[in-house]
Amino acid sequence: MTKNSVFIRIRNLVRQIPLGRVSTYGLVAKAANTKSPRVVGWALRGNQDSTLPCHRVVQKGGTISPNYSLGGYLGQRRRLEKEGLKFKGRQIIDFDSFLYRFDRPR
DNA sequence: AAAGTGACGCATT
DNA sequence: TAATGCGCCACTT
């Protein structure tokens, strides 16, 4: 793993997402200056670091990837619900208001 | 050096 | 709706 790699930047960004908020693979990718959202998923794959809230990264419309590596869909959903998020079907209720945008943090 | 591999996203079928 | 296909790009063989 290269020093200062995109992976490192991605993880640092993800750490900035506040509790109870979420971001998306695409937004993180953009903030990390890579055009490929897939790289974000890669950077988080198999994460064991408890200081890295990788469960706060979801897909574009506020849905959870079935490929989340720590418990799959349900594992991630439980973590998010524990932080106060609610779901309607497969998607986060009021997703837009919980979405954390790196360029204009709130 | 070249090919394989994805926790995506978007367009198309 | 769901399924495919493809561009994307950093890492691994």
For residues A57-86, give the mean pLDDT. Answer: 96
- Whether A54 is catalytic is yes
Q: Is the pLDDT of residue A60 over 80?
A: yes
For residues A39-63, give the mean pLDDT. Answer: 95
A23 and A30 Cβ atoms separated by less than 8 Å: no
Chain C nucleotides covered by protein, CB below 7 Å: 7-12
For residues A16-29, give the mean pLDDT. Answer: 97
| Confidence band for A57, pLDDT divided at 50, 70 and 90 | very high
Query: How many CB atoms are closer than 10 A to CB A93?
Result: 12
A98 and A21 Cβ atoms separated by less than 8 Å: yes
* DSSP-assigned letters across all residues of A21-56: -BEEHHHHHHHTT-S-HHHHHHHHTT---TT--GGG
Determine the pLDDT at residue A2: 57
Determine the pLDDT at residue A104: 78
A28 and A54 Cβ atoms separated by less than 8 Å: no
Of A17, A22, A52, A54, the catalytic one is: A54
